[in-house]
């Protein structure tokens, strides 16, 4: 911690120093056990490799944000089950679906070395504006509040909000506030394919979770890992606004594209069924 910072929960962006950011990209390409089928099982290797490289390049561009100094981007995965070089190897991991749990836990080793932490799926593009918004929001937010980006998908000039739209009309809670003239609200689904936390908020997170936990309670293990690490936060998203504070999912799973990932089951039907099943077990995490 900075010895000149008397309040350990002060947002790093409010301090007069360049912000250091650690980014982990979770990448796995190969078969997964169990019922969950990710695109790493079936997608063309050249397509997936392009997604991963795009994700890395977008994170590296975060160094262009005003006030940001060092940005380190590392790929987490399993050697022999990847399409790009692996920086942090989890070859001893028995179940690759727990990769996000493991990388999040590994990231905690560097709490003293960085000001912000970004942990992301390998097909998510994080625009610089997302970090700009988070840095500004954290200057005045409470320790348990996050400005959480919506995960969008874009094609042919159309943009949709994937994780919110898939829940139907009952997608939002009633917890909301106004931020810079915009309505931000907490959604039922905490998933956006990533975690972005300041050092103080990451420390607060660790006060409220068990790093040994590896439960599967929201859709699948990857989604559950992000949700578990976020469980002590109010995740405020832009309310019905796809053009402010969003990340881009390079894959296309939103039902409006008309895709079917599992024969006979649309992404919408599959997501709602798994989300309802997982929601019954969320209380176990408290």
**What angle, 0 to 180 degrees and rounded to 10, lies between the N-to-C axes of helices 221-229 and 99-107?**
30
Burial class of residue 225, CB neighbours in 10 A (0-12, 13-18, 19+): buried
pTM of the model: 0.84
Q: State the distance between the two ends of the chain, measured CA to CA, in whole angstroms.
A: 29
pLDDT of 168 strictly over 70? no
pLDDT score, position 230: 96
Range 5-23 average pLDDT: 71
Q: Is the dihedral of CA 64, 65, 69, 75 positive or negative?
A: negative
d(CA 195, CA 228): 11
> Which residue intervals of the chain are DSSP H helices?
39-42, 45-60, 99-107, 128-138, 162-165, 199-206, 221-229, 267-279
pLDDT score, position 286: 39
Please tell me which residue, 174 or 37, carries the higher pLDDT value.
174
d(CA 17, CA 93): 38
pLDDT of 11 strictly over 50? yes
For 71-110, b/e burial (b = at least 16 CB within 10 A) is bbbbbbbbeebbbbebeeebeebeebbbbbbbbbbebeee
Range 56-60 average pLDDT: 98
Q: What is the mean pLDDT of the chain?
A: 83
- Look up residue 128 and give its two tokens: 């610089």
- DSSP conformation class of 78: -
pLDDT score, position 41: 67
Please tell me the least confidently modeled range out of 8-17, 62-71, 110-119: 8-17
| 3-class secondary-structure state, position 105 | helix
Per the document, the length of the chain is 286
pLDDT of 144 strictly over 80? yes
How far, rounded to the nearest angstrom, does the alpha carbon of residue 283 sit from its chain's CA centroid? Answer: 21
Q: Binning pLDDT at 50, 70 and 90, where does residue 8 land?
A: low
Per-residue pLDDT of 229-242, as tens digits, reads: 999 999 999 997 88
pLDDT score, position 52: 96
Strands (E), the chain: 19-26, 68-77, 88-89, 116-121, 124-125, 145-147, 150-155, 158-161, 172-179, 182-187, 194-198, 234-238, 246-249
pLDDT score, position 65: 97
């Amino acid at each position: 911690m900075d010895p000149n910072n008397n309040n350990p929960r002060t947002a790093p962006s409010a301090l007069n120093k360049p912000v250091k950011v650690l980014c982990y990209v979770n990448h796995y390409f190969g078969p997964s056990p169990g019922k969950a089928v990710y695109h790493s099982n079936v997608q063309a290797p050249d397509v997936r490799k392009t997604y991963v490289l795009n994700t890395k390049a977008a994170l590296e561009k975060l160094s262009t944000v005003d006030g940001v100094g060092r940005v380190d981007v590392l790929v987490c995965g399993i050697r022999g089950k990847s399409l790009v070089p692996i920086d942090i190897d989890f070859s001893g991991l028995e179940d690759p679906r727990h990769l996000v749990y493991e990388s999040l836990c590994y990231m905690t080793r560097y709490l003293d070395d960085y000001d912000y932490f970004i942990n992301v799926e390998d097909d998510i593009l994080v625009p610089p504006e997302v970090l700009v918004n988070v840095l500004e929001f954290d200057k005045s937010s409470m320790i348990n509040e996050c400005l959480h980006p919506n995960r969008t998908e874009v094609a042919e000039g159309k943009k949709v909000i994937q994780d919110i739209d898939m829940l139907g009309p009952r997608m939002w809670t009633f917890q909301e506030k106004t931020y810079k003239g915009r309505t931000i609200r907490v959604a039922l689904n905490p998933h956006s394919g990533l975690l972005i936390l300041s050092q103080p908020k990451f420390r607060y997170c660790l006060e409220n979770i068990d790093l040994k936990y590896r439960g599967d309670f929201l859709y699948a293990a990857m989604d559950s890992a992000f949700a578990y690490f976020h469980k002590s936060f109010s995740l405020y998203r832009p309310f019905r606004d796809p053009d402010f504070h969003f990340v881009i999912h390079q894959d296309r799973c939103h039902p409006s594209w008309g895709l079917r990932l599992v024969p006979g089951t649309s992404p919408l039907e599959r997501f709602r069924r798994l989300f309802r099943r997982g929601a019954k077990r969320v209380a176990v995490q408290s």
